[in-house]
Amino acid sequence: MGKARCSSFSAKLQGTGFSNGGDINLDFLQSLRQLCSFSNNDTLAQLDLLKPATFDNRYYINLLSREGLLPSSQVLVTGDDQTRGIVEAYVENQFAFFEDFKYVMVRMGSLGPLTGNNGVIHWNCRIVNWPPSFAKPA
């Protein structure tokens, strides 16, 4: 947990992962380029370079510092004011993040698996099965 393969943010390394260059800290971008340039795309990068093994609100601090590793993370700050407000609240109040995290984990833990005709098996998670089917494609 807390890591991503270079291949998952390779567009960022090429400068094509965001709509403009202001969405990422250039020093952070350079460090990622250096990490990923000496190996294949299976190299793992830490989501949090400062305290990678600590569970805290650092992920959100990194987003405000334009050091979100994944474009899908950084858009939490650049996407709209509502999500940016949540990020800012978690930066200002780590306890609020812990409380919300606890609540969401309990809710997710209470979800049961979809069975029978109530669910869809995704044989390829990169595409949507439509119409829903339980049969593996030929």
Flag whether 42 is marked binding: no
- The 10 Å CB-count burial string (b at 16+, else e) for 6-23 is bebbeebbeeebbeeeeb
> Which positions ≥6 away from 52 have C-beta within 8 Å?
2, 3, 46
Flag whether 48 is marked binding: yes
Q: Output the six-digit token pair for 47.
A: 């989501």
Dist CA 122 CA 13 (whole Å): 30
Secondary structure class of 44 (helix, strand, coil):
strand
List residues forming the annotated binding site for Ca(2+). Answer: 48, 56
List residues forming the annotated binding site. Answer: 48, 56
